[in-house]
Structure 1
Amino acid sequence: MRAGLEDRRVLVIGRSGGIAGAIVTAVRDSGATVVVASRNPDALAEAYGEDLATEAVDVTEEASVAALAHRLGHVDHVVSTASARARGRLGDLQPAAVLQSLSTKVLGPILLAKHFAPRMPRDGSFVFFSGATARKPAPGMLAVAATNGGVDAVTRALAVEIAPLRVNSVSPGTIDSGAHDALGEQQKAELFAGRAARNPAGRVGDPEDVVRAVLYALTSTFTTGTSLVVDGGETLV
């Protein structure tokens, strides 16, 4: 079995920036042919130019996933960073937001496996995204915790269901990927400082920390059914 990514075809689903963008760059630099997909392919095309093939997909819709699998045919690996977080305390949570979160990160991987696995080589793999709240929930993160816990469960179950194809997830902690920019510069700095002070690693993460875990999941042929924790020990304290 080939362990590297040279001459492999990798589908990366997600936005054009942040962690997804860093993954695309790293996978391409590793010698793979990359196809990027999201619900907004125009934004992907604008970000990546003509260097990458761009596709439209909504991972919550089976017909959309099936159509993408039919268009692409053979791929070696699938990475999905798609998410739809439903933050909020119990009394404020709206069922529609919770269902969208679960549909994107839990149903989405199931649909991707259903339609892509039959087209993949025996040494292919899937990489999905969980998160630290699956192991250390906090007030206001109930739906996010439930979603991420679901991702971890689906990862283990799919690893058994579609073996020998490998299925893993990456579970980041606090990552400076742009996701916190909406807080504003001061509030973001205070949040990061507090978490870095408590974190055993003494810092928050950056996209490259996550990318290294993704590359490991893609290329380690004896790793499957695992959630790779990339949180600097955040969930230990």
Structure 2
Amino acid sequence: MSTSPPYNYNRLVGKHILILGGTSGIGLAVAKLSLAASARVTISSSSPSRIESTIQSLTTEFPNAQITGHACDLSTPTVEADLETLFQKATTTSQIDHIIFTAADPLTILPIQEITRDKILMAGQIRFIAAMLSATVGSRYLSPGPESSIILTTGTVWEKPSLGWTIMAGYMGGVCSIARNLALDLKPIRVNAVSPGLVDTGLWDALMGAEEKEGMYSFYAEKQPTGRVARAEEVAEAYLYLMRDGNVTGRIVASDSGALLV
């Protein structure tokens, strides 16, 4: 008579999670939730000093945390080789179980008359090219099987167009498409994406002043069914879900305050 294995209440204990873009915003929130779930975390960003300060802060918050960090600049033409080096460093002691891609640069929001070839290519370097390469290069360093996964990040503009967002909408939709196709190309490793709506992070600081940002937050809070703008730690739960559920692949999970309903 066969017996079922003990029920695994915490599927992230001891798992090794690498987060590209893990020093701020949603990526940092994913790092915190992962550490709280007793996972081992490696964070990466382009700034060694930010990695160092983030590790110090996380170690203070999670004294028993297993956390390391390695710099990787995703904005350069050598991104493929640089990612290879990053994954080699990250797997010195163990393979990776989950790759989370939340890296981003300032949003390219332009009137259609100002769009040029160079601006299109520059806008996609991190959010699309580096995202795809993180999956293709990183897949070779993942533990085999459907318990491992890659999670990319898109945004609701791929479903709900907005004036001036044509370049961003193209790349956000592209991320959804490659996530679904990579789920077949990399099987049985799972590939999914999270589609956040408006989230209260420092991303907007590069685009507008504090007063304008607060006005935008108030405007959308009144429109959205939740009645407020999402916090990074709320959206981060979607990434934890996709890591834990070994039965989901090729899906786009929205955490958008119900924005698509209105």
TM-score (structure 1 length as normaliser):
0.92
CA gap of 1:181–1:86, structure 2 versus 1, over 3 A, is: closer
Deviation at 1:15, TM superposition (A): 5.0
Higher deviation after alignment, 139-148 or 58-67: 58-67
Equivalent position of 2:224 in the other structure: 199
Matches within 5 A, 1:1-237: 4-14=11-21, 16-49=23-56, 51=59, 52-59=67-74, 61-73=79-91, 74-84=95-105, 85-121=107-143, 122=145, 123-182=147-206, 183-237=208-262
Three-state SS of the structure 1 residue aligned to 2:150 is strand
Q: Deviations over 1:157-184 (max 9, x none)?
A: 1011101111111111111123234523
Three-state SS of the structure 1 residue aligned to 2:73 is coil
Deviation at 1:135, TM superposition (A): 0.6
Q: Distance in 2 between matches of 1:212 and 1:13?
A: 17
Larger Rg belongs to: 2
Deviation at 1:9, TM superposition (A): 0.6
CA gap of 1:108–1:53, structure 2 versus 1, over 3 A, is: same
Letter in 1 for 2:27: A
Letter in 1 for 2:156: A
Q: Does the CA-based 8 Å contact 1:34-1:53 persist in structure 2?
A: yes
State how many pairs are aligned: 237
Q: Distance in 1 between matches of 2:55 and 2:180?
A: 33
Letter in 2 for 1:81: T
Q: Distance in 1 between matches of 2:128 and 2:116?
A: 18
Q: Distance in 2 between matches of 1:43 and 1:180?
A: 19
Q: Distance in 2 between matches of 1:194 and 1:120?
A: 42
Q: Distance in 2 between matches of 1:168 and 1:24?
A: 18
Q: Distance in 2 between matches of 1:191 and 1:112?
A: 32
Q: Deviations over 1:56-75 (max 9, x none)?
A: 22345111111112222311
Deviation at 1:126, TM superposition (A): 0.6
Q: Does the CA-based 8 Å contact 1:87-1:93 persist in structure 2?
A: no
In structure 1, stretches of 5+ residues that fail to align are: none
CA gap of 1:191–1:8, structure 2 versus 1, over 3 A, is: same
In structure 2, stretches of 5+ residues that fail to align are: 60-66
Q: Distance in 2 between matches of 1:27 and 1:100?
A: 32
Letter in 2 for 1:132: T
Q: Does the CA-based 8 Å contact 1:16-1:47 persist in structure 2?
A: yes
Three-state SS of the structure 2 residue aligned to 1:215 is helix
Letter in 2 for 1:11: L
Q: Does the CA-based 8 Å contact 1:66-1:115 persist in structure 2?
A: yes
Q: Does the CA-based 8 Å contact 2:158-2:172 persist in structure 1?
A: yes
Letter in 2 for 1:119: Y
Which runs of structure 1 show a deviation greater than 6 angstroms over 4 or more consecutive aligned residues?
Answer: none
CA gap of 1:181–1:103, structure 2 versus 1, over 3 A, is: closer
